[in-house]
Amino acid sequence: MEIRVMMGDIFKFLDESSLKAKDFDKKHEFLIDGFLPSELITMIYSAGGSGKTFLAYGITSKLCKMGKKVFYIDFDNPVNVLKERRCDELLINRYENLRYIQRSSLQMHPFELILELENSAVKGTYKDCVFVLDSLVNFCDLFNDNRLMRLFDALKNMREAGATIIILHHANKDGKNYQGSTCIRNAIDCMYKLSQKPANSGELNFVLEVAKERAAIVDSAFNLKVDTLELRELEKSVANMSEYEFGFTSKATAILKANERLSKTEFLNALGYEKDDKTARECLDKFDGKLWFSNKVGKSIFYSGSGSSTTIQLSYDEAEKSLFASHKMAVNE
């Protein structure tokens, strides 16, 4: 008789714990369209010095403005570096919905912290919460599969309780893949490889290539203003500019800013090119409609500034000497 009661209880428990039709009605949402899916685990990896942390700061600022509860767990950067980056001014003191947890403020190993967070991970607990882990190497031995699997089990339970999780991670020596065990790839939902691209002084441009996806994410590009942490989407063709294209477009936009309208010949001459220079003409065409606009009047083509937000806004003198090396910021992770 006692066994029958126990069997009845367990089947009732299993029935109550089973997925129902209504559980599949939920549409997947993005916190940042096409880039950051909600309630999934997303990993971003790159070589050291590529600006992962700065990108994460920009994402944090954007999500805080959206009203999300953001928990930035930083076991990588010391407090003096955070001060140099003005984290207190730009993040911690600015957003009441941000909690910045750093090594010195937590008397606990980060692995144990994740397990503590897991203890509260019941359905809905972490709805509208975003956790940023900076960076994975500080949370677990990257080649200890058992330890990694336990870490990611905890993160998955947090995900199922409504959390969106962003993990920053390092690339291996050749920069082509991430460091550590293959079980890392199996455990996460989405993964990006990050590259830093040429940008104006005081700004960073990023391209993020999809390395694994479960939510129809796409390759994305962003511009970050370091002094404000303003994060803007960037046209990928602009973000992927070569050194030549960056120098060309920097000078071109500076010229158009000083001139309301120029014919193609006038424009090319101002840039220092002959009108039949093939490379220059190809560059004009490639960024037409993105960084400037062309308008055909009779047989002539005229160019004007786009009037839209762009990352290419240097003065003429700056544009004259604009090269990748002079504009790429030296950023420590």
- Percent of residues in the chain assigned helix, strand, coil, to nearest 5: 40, 25, 35
- The pairing of strands 36-37 and 41-46 is unpaired
Query: What's the pLDDT at 174?
Result: 85
List, for the chain, all residue ranges whose pLDDT scores fall below the cut of 50: 1-5, 307-333
Structure confidence at residue 2 (pLDDT):
46
- Residue pair 167/95 in contact (Cβ under 8 Å)? The answer is no
pLDDT at 231 (0 to 100): 97
Q: Tell me what pLDDT residue 118 has.
A: 97
Locate 113 and state its tokens. Answer: 């912290």
Q: DSSP character for 149?
A: H
What is the pLDDT at residue 306?
Answer: 66
Beta bridge partners, 192, equal 44, 210
Alpha carbon distance 135, 140 (integer Å)? 10
Distance CA 183, CA 145 (A): 7
Which tokens go with 176?
């082509």
For residue 41, which amino acid is it?
I
| Separation in Å, CA 191 to CA 45, 139, 254, 260, 262 | 8, 18, 37, 44, 44
Tell me what pLDDT residue 183 has: 95
Contact, 179 vs 141, CB < 8 A? no
Nearest Cα neighbor of 205 from 228, 193, 223, 219 is 223
Q: What's the CA gap between 222 and 6, in Å, rounded?
A: 57
Residue 8: the pLDDT is 61
- 303: Cβ contacts below 8 Å, ≥ 6 apart: 256, 261, 262, 263, 264, 267, 284, 292, 293, 294, 295
Model-level pTM?
0.81
* Closest C-alpha among 150, 181, 187, 147 to residue 167: 187
CA distances from 323 to 79, 197, 204, 286, 288 (A): 33, 12, 14, 19, 21
Predicted local distance difference test score (pLDDT) of residue 3: 42
Q: For 280-298, how does the pLDDT look when each residue is reduced to its tens digit (9 = 90+)?
A: 999 999 999 989 999 999 9
